[in-house]
Structure 1
Amino acid sequence: MRSRVSDSESEGTGSFEFDSVVIGGGAAGLTASGICANFGAKTMMIEKHKLGGDCTWTGCVPSKVLLKAGKVAQQVRDAGKYGLIDGEPKIDFKKVIKHVDDIRKEVYEDADRPEIFEDMGIVVVEGEASFLNAHTIEIKLPDGEKRKVTSRFFFIAAGGSAFVPPIEGIDTVDYLTNDSLFEVEDLPEELLIIGGGPIGTEMSQAFTNLGSKVTVIDMAEEIMMNDDPELTDILFEELKRQGVNYELGASVKSVSQNNGKVSVHIEVDGKEKTVAGDKLLMATGRKPNLAGLGLDEAGVEYTKKGITINNSCRTNKKNIYAIGDIASKYQFTHMSEHMAKIATSRAMLKIPMKMDLKHITWATFTSPEIAHVGATEKELNEKGEKFEVYRFPYSKIDRAITEGESVGMIKIFAKKFSGKILGASVVGAHAGEFISEYAVAMKNGVSLRNIADTIHPYPSWGLGARRAADQWYIRNQSAGTVKWIKRIFGYKGEIPDYSDPDRVV
C-alpha cells in the first residue's frame, strides 16, 4: 500500500479500500453515509461516541423534551384560561430527566443505532479518526489498537461542541454546558445562564416552567440577536411574564464558587453586582471539533471557525469534503443534512450542486416559538432593496384564539407589485411550521398572491399564512382603484379608508 496518493492520481484505479469514509456519526455523517451507500459506494462511518451525535444526545431531542415538560407544567398553572381550575404542578425532576433519556434512547433505536446502517452495507466503526494524508486515515479503536484505512473520498462530519469563553475563575467552577445539562438529576433552585441566544433562551424557559428561579446574563442589550428585534421583543416580554429574570447589557467580570453556590460578578451601566445561584449553564456558543483530525497532514485548510469549504462543501483537497457544524456558521441539524446531500451528490455523482444559502431556515422552540427564512429586514435595508413589510397578528388567527395562544406576529418581506417573498419571520405558536410553508414558497417562486389564492382549511394554523398573504392584496388596493370600479359597475358603497399603510384586514 502506498503511503501517499496525490490528488492528481486516478481515483478510479480501485487502489482504495473504500469509496467513501465518513468521519462522524451525527446528523451530517448519518445522512452522508446513507446517501453514499444508496449510490452503491463501499462506505465506512466512524464515530468516537454514540451515533446520533449532538442532536440526539445533547441538543435538539433532549432540549425539546424538556421544553415540552415545562410547557405542560405551565399549562397546569394557566388552566384557568381554558375554563379549568388553575393548579400548581407536582414535579419530580428525576422522572422528568428519565423521560428525557427514554426519548433519546427511543430516537436512537428508531433512527441511529449501528445495525440500521450496517443493514445498508455500511461498515460502522467506533473510534477516533486522524488523517495521515489526503487518502489515508488512522483509526484509534477503543481497545487501543490502530487501523489504517484508505478511501477515494472523505466526508468530515466531526461536528461541534460547547464553547466556553476564558472568563476569570471559570476553571474553578462546576459549570454546565449542553453536553452535561441533561444528566443533572436534581432541579436547580437557582439557575444562572450566561448567554441569551437560542440555547440559553430555550433552557431559561424550560427550567423556569419546571420550578427553577432562572437568571439570564448577556452582554447584548437584547436576547436572540440573530432574529427580528420586533419579534424578539414579543418573545422577551412573554418570557419575563412567565418568570425569567434578565441581566442584559452585562459584562461578565469573573465567576466563583463557594459552599456549593456559584457567583457571577458582572458590570451593568458602570455598576458592579453579583448574581448567585446553585448551578451555572454556559450557553455561549459552539466551536468546531478540529482537534485530533490530522487536517495538517491531509493538507486541509481551516481556521478557528472551522474547515474552509466552497459552496459544494469541498475543501481545498478535491477528494475531501466537510459538512455540518465543523464547516458551517449555520449550526442546525437541517443545515447539516442539507450539506450532506450537496457534498455526496457533488462527490459521488459529479452533480454540481451548491448549498442553498438564500433560503436557510431556523427556529427556536420556546413558547411562543420564533423562526425565520431568507433575508432579514436589516439585510434588505443594508442592500438597498425595495420591499414591503406585511404584518399579521396572531390575534386575528381564529385557531390561535381558540387555543389561547394569540400572542404572536407573522412578518413577511416581499416585493410590492409581484409579491415575491424575500424573507419571513414569525413569532408565535407553530412558528416553525409557518416558516416551512414560506420556505417552500420562496424555493419554488410562489408569491404572496399565489399563497393568498390557495385554499387553506379553516380553522387551521396554516390559514394564518394565507391571511398574512391576503395583506398583499389589501396593500395593493387604493381609493383611486375603488373609485374606478364603482364608476364602471355603478356600485353605491363607501370607499374604504386607505390612509393607514399598515392596516390589517
Structure 2
Amino acid sequence: MRELDYDVAVIGAGTAGIAAHRAAAASGARSVLIERGPGGTTCARVGCMPSKLLIAAGTAAHTARSTDLFGIRVADVAVDGPAVLRRLRAERDRFVASVFDGLGDLPDHARLDGTARFESDRTLLIGDAIRIRFRAAVIATGSRPIVPEPLRGLGARVLTTDTLFEIPDLPDSLAVLGAGAVGIEIAQAMARLGVAVTVIDTGEAVAGLSEPGLVQQAAEIFGSELNLHRGAEVRAAAPDGDGVCLHWTDRDGREQVTRASRVLAAIGRAPNLQPLGLEAVGLRHGADGLPDFDRRSLVCAGAPILIAGDADGWRPVLHEASRQGRIAGANAAALAAGRAPAAPAPWTSLAMVFTHPQAAVIGAPYDPEDDGRVIGSMDFSDQGRARVEGLNRGGIRIWADRSGQLLGGEMLGPAVEHLAHLLAYAVTDKQTAQSVHDRPVYHPTVEEGLFSIMSTIIRKI
C-alpha cells in the first residue's frame, strides 16, 4: 500500500473543500484535496446555478404573458421545454467547467481521486491502495437530497435536484414535496413554464419565512400560480401509469389524492457522512447524529478534525460553505502546526429565495416572545417604484432592540436580493435605525422602503 504524509487532508472538492484546501496551503500547511467525484460543487452542478437558469426561463415566459398591465399586447407565448432544458444544461456545464479549471491548477501531489474513509483519528484510506497520515483533517463532503419514505421505490418517477435538470422535457404535471427555498423556487418556475404544479408541505412556513404576516402573503402570492397545501402530509405513493399517485392528508385531516407525471422531493438535504467510517475516529455526536463541533472554529469534539459546508448541516448555502471552508482550512493548518485554532467574529446569517417576489431572512430570527424588540414594517402594495414596475406585492419586517440597534428581519418583495444585503451589512456593523435613516436614499427606488421602516422604528423607541 502506498503511504503518504500530509499536514492537512481535505475530503471533498466542493465549495467548502476547495476553500479549505487553499486556506490550509496559504497558511503554510502541506495539504491534499481528495475527491471521489463527480465534483463541480453542489451549487454549480445541481443547486443554485441550474435552479436560477430554470427560474430565468420561467420569468421570461411569465413576463411575456404579463404585459397587458402596461398596455402591451403579446399575441402568444410558446414554451419549448427541450430548448429550455438544453440551454439550462449548457450554461450549467459552463459553471461546472469553471470549477474544474480552478482545480486543474493544483499540482498532482495536492489532489487525489478516490473515496476516503477514516482508519483512525490520524489516518485515512483511499480505497485499498493509499494510506494517508495527517495531522488534521477537514470533512467537506457536501450533502445529498432526502427522499421521504413514501416516495422510495418509485424509480425515475421521483426527481431530486440531482436528477431534475437532466430530464429531456418538462413534465405535464409535477407534485413538489416541500415549500422551502428549493421547493418553492422550482415549483413557481415550473408553473410559469406551463407545468401544472402542486406543492405539499407538512409545515406552515413558505420560502423560509416565519413572520406570520409575510408567511400569509407568500402563501397567497405563490398559491395564485400553483396549488399550495400547507400543514399536509403525504401518506403513500404508488405508480399511476407513467406517473405517480400521491395519497395525503390536508391540514384538517381529510384524505386527498394528487396524480402527477413526476414528483420532486424537495424537503432538504442530508450530510454525506456515511462512507467516511467516522466510527473509527472517536468523535462525539449531537442529538441529531452529526459530529459535535464548535460553530466558530469548526473543530469537532474528540479529534483534530474539522467539518465545513453542507457536511455539517448547519447553514447549507454557498457563501456559508465558502466562509466555513476558509475557517476550517486555516484552523486545520493551525492544529497541524501545534497552534490553537482561531474563533472568527460572529457572522450575520443571510438566506435568500429567488422566487418572484423574492424572499430573504437576515440576522436574528423572528421571535414573537421577545418583548425587548421594536419591529418596523412596510407593505409593497403602495410603494412608489414597486407600483411603477407592477411588482407591488409583499412586505418587509425589521427588528431592532430598544436602543435602536438593528438585529435582523425578513423580506418578501421586489429587489429583495439587494435590500437584504443592505440590512445584513447594517446588522453586521451594529448600526442603528437612526444611522441608516440618516444615509441618502434616491427617489424613486425600492430602497425608500427601508427608509420608511427606519422611521417607524425610531418613532417606537
TM-score (normalised: structure 2): 0.91
Q: Displacement, 1:475? A: 4.2
- The equivalent position to 1:308 in structure 2, one of 281, 292, 307, is 292
> What's the counterpart of residue 106 of structure 2?
118
Query: Does the aligned pair in 1 maintain the 2:381–2:394 contact within 8 Å?
Result: yes
Q: Displacement, 1:396? A: 4.8
Q: Displacement, 1:351? A: 5.0
Q: Does structure 1 residue 21 correspond to structure 2 residue 9?
A: yes
Q: Displacement, 1:239? A: 1.3
Asked which structure has the greater RCO (Cα within 8 Å, sep 6+), the reply is: 2
Q: 1:26 to 1:179 in 2, by over 3 A?
A: same
Alignment of 1:31-70 (within 5 A): 31-70=19-58
Alignment of 1:307-386 (within 5 A): 307-311=291-295, 312-349=297-334, 350=340, 352-354=342-344, 356=346, 359-378=348-367, 381-382=368-369, 384-386=370-372
Q: Displacement, 1:249? A: 2.6
Q: Does structure 1 residue 79 correspond to structure 2 residue 63?
A: no
Unmatched runs of 5 consecutive residues or more in structure 1: 4-15, 477-505
Alignment of 1:196-275 (within 5 A): 196-224=179-207, 227-241=210-224, 243-268=225-250, 269-275=252-258
Q: Does structure 1 residue 157 correspond to structure 2 residue 140?
A: yes
Unmatched runs of 5 consecutive residues or more in structure 2: 335-339
> What's the counterpart of residue 390 of structure 1?
376
Per-residue CA deviations over 1:289-335 (Å, capped at 9, x if unaligned) read 11110211122334554222112111124421011122133222222
Q: Displacement, 1:229? A: 2.6
Query: Does the aligned pair in 2 maintain the 1:262–1:278 contact within 8 Å?
Result: yes
Q: Which amino acid aligns with 1:282?
A: A
> What's the counterpart of residue 285 of structure 1?
268
Per-residue CA deviations over 1:397-446 (Å, capped at 9, x if unaligned) read 43323322121212110124x21012111111221221211111111111
Per-residue CA deviations over 1:331-372 (Å, capped at 9, x if unaligned) read 222222222232233333445214736x21111111011101
> What's the counterpart of residue 168 of structure 2?
185
Task: Give the percent of matched residue pairs that are identical in Structure 1 and Structure 2.
Answer: 27
Query: Does the aligned pair in 1 maintain the 2:373–2:400 contact within 8 Å?
Result: yes
Q: 1:466 to 1:226 in 2, by over 3 A?
A: closer
Q: 1:360 to 1:348 in 2, by over 3 A?
A: same
Query: Does the aligned pair in 2 maintain the 1:42–1:122 contact within 8 Å?
Result: no
> What's the counterpart of residue 104 of structure 1?
92
> What's the counterpart of residue 412 of structure 2?
427
Q: Which amino acid aligns with 1:313?
A: L
Per-residue CA deviations over 1:363-399 (Å, capped at 9, x if unaligned) read 1111011101122332xx33x4411110122245433
Query: Does the aligned pair in 2 maintain the 1:129–1:137 contact within 8 Å?
Result: yes
> What's the counterpart of residue 337 of structure 2?
none
Q: Using the alignment, how far apart are the partners of 2:310 and 2:386 within structure 1?
A: 35
Larger radius of gyration: 1
Q: Using the alignment, how far apart are the partners of 1:138 and 1:283 within structure 2?
A: 33
SS, match of residue 215 in structure 1: strand
Q: Using the alignment, how far apart are the partners of 1:281 and 1:434 within structure 2?
A: 31
Per-residue CA deviations over 1:23-77 (Å, capped at 9, x if unaligned) read 1111211211222222232221112223332111111111111111101110000
SS, match of residue 287 in structure 1: strand
- The equivalent position to 2:421 in structure 1, one of 404, 413, 436, is 436
Q: Displacement, 1:185? A: 1.2
> What's the counterpart of residue 480 of structure 1?
none
SS, match of residue 30 in structure 1: helix
Q: Which has the larger displacement, 461-470 or 30-39?
A: 461-470
> What's the counterpart of residue 13 of structure 1?
none
Q: Using the alignment, how far apart are the partners of 1:363 and 1:207 within structure 2?
A: 19
Q: Which amino acid aligns with 1:187?
A: L
Q: Displacement, 1:116? A: 4.8
Q: Which amino acid aligns with 2:393?
A: V
Q: Using the alignment, how far apart are the partners of 1:455 and 1:261 within structure 2?
A: 55
Q: Which amino acid aligns with 1:262?
A: V
Q: 1:2 to 1:26 in 2, by over 3 A?
A: closer
Per-residue CA deviations over 1:437-471 (Å, capped at 9, x if unaligned) read 11111111111111111113443443433333233
Q: 1:103 to 1:317 in 2, by over 3 A?
A: farther
Q: Using the alignment, how far apart are the partners of 2:310 and 2:17 within structure 1?
A: 11
Query: Does the aligned pair in 1 maintain the 2:207–2:359 contact within 8 Å?
Result: no
> What's the counterpart of residue 9 of structure 1?
none
Q: 1:270 to 1:458 in 2, by over 3 A?
A: closer
Q: Using the alignment, how far apart are the partners of 2:172 and 2:450 within structure 1?
A: 41
> What's the counterpart of residue 455 of structure 2?
470
> What's the counterpart of residue 129 of structure 1?
116
Structure 1 vs Structure 2 CA RMSD: 2.4
Q: Using the alignment, how far apart are the partners of 1:111 and 1:295 within structure 2?
A: 28
SS, match of residue 159 in structure 2: coil
Query: Does the aligned pair in 2 maintain the 1:22–1:154 contact within 8 Å?
Result: yes
Q: Using the alignment, how far apart are the partners of 2:358 and 2:31 within structure 1?
A: 39
Q: Which amino acid aligns with 2:396?
A: I
Q: 1:409 to 1:117 in 2, by over 3 A?
A: farther
Query: Does the aligned pair in 1 maintain the 2:41–2:99 contact within 8 Å?
Result: no
Q: Using the alignment, how far apart are the partners of 2:169 and 2:227 within structure 1?
A: 21
Q: Which amino acid aligns with 1:433?
A: H
Q: Which amino acid aligns with 1:388?
A: V
Query: Does the aligned pair in 1 maintain the 2:310–2:316 contact within 8 Å?
Result: yes
Q: Does structure 1 residue 404 correspond to structure 2 residue 390?
A: yes
Q: Which has the larger displacement, 80-89 or 424-433?
A: 80-89
Q: Which amino acid aligns with 2:228?
A: Y
TM-score (normalised: structure 1): 0.83
SS, match of residue 245 in structure 2: strand
Query: Does the aligned pair in 2 maintain the 1:287–1:305 contact within 8 Å?
Result: no
- The number of equivalent residue pairs is 452
Q: Using the alignment, how far apart are the partners of 1:31 and 1:285 within structure 2?
A: 24
